[in-house]
Amino acid sequence: MCGIAGLIHRGKRSDVGSEMTAMLQALKHRGPDSTGFAVYGEPVEGDYVLRLKAAEQEDMGKGRGIDKIVDERIAEVERRMEERGAVIKLRDRVRPHAVRYVLSHDGDTEDLAKYIEEVDGTEILSFGNGLELIKDLGDATRVADEYKLQGFKGTHGIGHTRMATESDVDIRSAHPYWAFPYNDVSVVHNGQITNYWNMRREMERRGHRFMSNCDSELLAVYTAHNLANGMTLEESLRRSIDEIDGVFTYLVATKDQLGMAKDTMAAKPLVLYESDDLIAMASEEVAIRAILPHEIDTVDPYDEEVRVWQA
Amino acid sequence: MAGVNAQSRGDGQEQRARDMGMTTEALSGRTQQVFFEPSEEERFTYPWAPEVDYNKRTEIDADGLTTTEVNKRLRDLMAEGYGTVVIQNPRGKHGLGVGILSRLNLIFEGSLGYFGVGLIDGPNVRITGRVGWSCAENMMAGTVVIEKNAGSTFGAAIRGGDLVCRGSVGSRTGIDMKGGTIIVGGDTGALSGFMMQRGRMVVCGNAGKNLGDSMYDGTIYVGGEIRSLGVDAVEAELTDLDKAWLTRKLRQYGLLPEQGVDHFTKVVAGKQLWNYDNLEPNEKKLIL
Give chain B's mean pLDDT: 88
CATH number at residue A124: 3.30.70.1110
Average pLDDT over residues A101-110: 90
A192 shares a domain with A167: yes
Q: Answer yes or no: is B267 within a domain.
A: yes
Q: Which residue of A has its CA nearest to B210?
A: A265
> Does the model's ipTM exceed the 0.85 cut?
yes
Average pLDDT over residues B226-234: 96
Encode chain A in three state secondary structure.
CCEEEEEEECCCCEEHHHHHHHHHHHCHHHCCCEEEEEEECCCCCCEEEEEEECCCHHHHCCCCCHHHHHHHHHHHHHHHHHHCCCEEEEEEEEECCEEEEEEECCCCHHHHHHHHHCCCCCEEEEEECCEEEEEEECCHHHHHHHCCCCCCEECEEEEEEECCCCCCCCCCCCCCEECCCCCCCEEEEEEEECCHHHHHHHHHHCCCCCCCCCHHHHHHHHHHHHHHCCCCHHHHHHHHHHHCCEEEEEEEECCCEEEEEECCCCCCCCEEEECCCEEEEECCHHHHHHHCCCCCCCECCCCCCEEEEEC
CATH number at residue A272: 3.60.20.10
Pairing label, strands B105-109, B121-127: parallel
Q: Is B281 exposed, middle or buried (0-12, 13-18, 19+ CB in 10 A)?
A: exposed
What is the structure's pLDDT at B3?
Answer: 45
Taking residue A70's Cβ as centre, other Cβ atoms within 10 Å add up to 22
pLDDT per residue as tens digits for the range B209-222: 999 999 999 999 99
Q: Answer yes or no: is B222 within a domain.
A: yes
Q: Answer yes or no: is B48 within a domain.
A: no
pLDDT per residue as tens digits for the range B133-172: 999 999 999 999 999 999 999 999 999 999 999 999 999 9
Q: Tell me which residue in B129, B152, B191 faces A300 most closely, judged by beta carbons.
A: B152
Residue A294 touches chain B, beta carbons under 8 Å: no
Residues 6+ apart with CB under 8 A from B285: none
A199 shares a domain with A55: no
A278 shares a domain with A156: yes
What is the structure's pLDDT at A182?
Answer: 84
Chain A residue numbers with beta carbons less than 8 Å from the beta carbon of B172 are: 266
Residue A175 touches chain B, beta carbons under 8 Å: no
- b/e string for B183-203 if b means 16 or more Cβ within 10 A? bbbbbbbbbbbbbbeebbbbb
Q: Answer yes or no: is A134 within a domain.
A: no
Residue B72 has pLDDT above 70, yes or no: yes
Structural domain ending residue among the three candidates A105, A129, A153: A129
> pTM (2 decimals)?
0.89
Q: Could you tell me which residue, B140 or B274, shows the higher pLDDT?
A: B140
A116 shares a domain with A98: yes
Q: Answer yes or no: is A56 within a domain.
A: yes
A203 shares a domain with A290: yes
Q: Could you tell me which residue, B42 or A262, shows the higher pLDDT?
A: A262
CB contact under 8 A, B149 and A303: no
* Residue among B232, B236, B245, B227 nearest B267 (CA): B236
Q: Answer yes or no: is B13 within a domain.
A: no
Distance from CA of A148 to the nearest CA of B (A): 27
Taking a C-beta distance cutoff of 8 angstroms, is the pair A114, A208 a contact? no
Distance from CA of A47 to the nearest CA of B (A): 41
Q: Tell me which residue in B129, B130, B190 faces A303 most closely, judged by beta carbons.
A: B190
Which amino acid makes up residue B252?
Q
Average pLDDT over residues A153-176: 91
Residue B71 touches chain A, beta carbons under 8 Å: no
Poorest-pLDDT segment among A5-19, A57-71, B209-223, B229-243: A57-71
Residue B181 touches chain A, beta carbons under 8 Å: no
Residue A60 has pLDDT above 90, yes or no: no
CB contact under 8 A, B168 and A288: no
Q: Which residue of B has its CA nearest to A299?
A: B149
Rounded to the nearest 10 degrees, how much is the dihedral formed by the CA atoms of B27, B32, B37, B43? 80
Chain B contact probe: residue of A28, A296, A302 with most B CBs at under 10 A? A302
What is the structure's pLDDT at B15?
Answer: 76
Distance from CA of B140 to the nearest CA of A (A): 26
Average pLDDT over residues A232-253: 96
Just list the catalytic residues of A: 2
* Backbone φ, ψ for residue B88 (5° rounding): -100, 155
**Tally of domains within chain A:** 2
A206 shares a domain with A145: yes
Residue B257 touches chain A, beta carbons under 8 Å: no
Q: Tell me which residue in B130, B133, B209 faces A298 most closely, judged by beta carbons.
A: B130
Taking residue B14's Cβ as centre, other Cβ atoms within 10 Å add up to 11
**Tally of domains within chain B:** 1
* Residue among B243, B245, B236, B239 nearest B260 (CA): B243
Residue B202: which domain range? 149-255+262-271
CB contact under 8 A, A300 and B151: yes
Which amino acid makes up residue A64?
R
What is the structure's pLDDT at A192?
Answer: 93
Distance from CA of B76 to the nearest CA of A (A): 26
Residue B191 touches chain A, beta carbons under 8 Å: yes
A15 shares a domain with A123: no
Q: What percentage of chain B has pLDDT greater than the value 70?
A: 83
CA distance linking residue B221 with residue B242, whole number of Å: 9
* Backbone φ, ψ for residue A271 (5° rounding): -115, 135
Residue A298 touches chain B, beta carbons under 8 Å: yes
A157 shares a domain with A25: yes
Average pLDDT over residues A278-296: 93
Distance from CA of B218 to the nearest CA of A (A): 23
Residue A107: which domain range? 44-129
A294 shares a domain with A145: yes
CB contact under 8 A, B92 and A286: yes
CA distance linking residue A184 with residue A124, whole number of Å: 12
* Backbone φ, ψ for residue A141 (5° rounding): -65, -35
Distance from CA of A297 to the nearest CA of B (A): 7
Q: Tell me which residue in B129, B133, B209 faces A269 most closely, judged by beta carbons.
A: B133
Q: Tell me which residue in A264, A284, A297 faces B132 most closely, judged by beta carbons.
A: A284
Taking a C-beta distance cutoff of 8 angstroms, is the pair B170, A270 a contact? no
Average pLDDT over residues A252-267: 94
Average pLDDT over residues B182-188: 97
Average pLDDT over residues B112-130: 96
Q: Answer yes or no: is B176 within a domain.
A: yes
Taking a C-beta distance cutoff of 8 angstroms, is the pair B41, B49 a contact? no
Q: Answer yes or no: is A92 within a domain.
A: yes
A299 shares a domain with A159: yes
* Backbone φ, ψ for residue B47 (5° rounding): -60, -25
CB contact under 8 A, A288 and B113: no
Residue A22 has pLDDT above 90, yes or no: yes
Identify the bridge partners of residue A92 per DSSP, sorted by sequence position. A100
Residue B230 touches chain A, beta carbons under 8 Å: no
A49 shares a domain with A27: no
pLDDT per residue as tens digits for the range A209-218: 898 888 999 9
A32 shares a domain with A48: no
Residue B130 touches chain A, beta carbons under 8 Å: yes
Q: Answer yes or no: is B220 within a domain.
A: yes
Chain A residue numbers with beta carbons less than 8 Å from the beta carbon of B129 are: 295
Residue B26 has pLDDT above 60, yes or no: no
What is the structure's pLDDT at B270?
Answer: 92
Give chain A's mean pLDDT: 93
CB contact under 8 A, A298 and B168: no
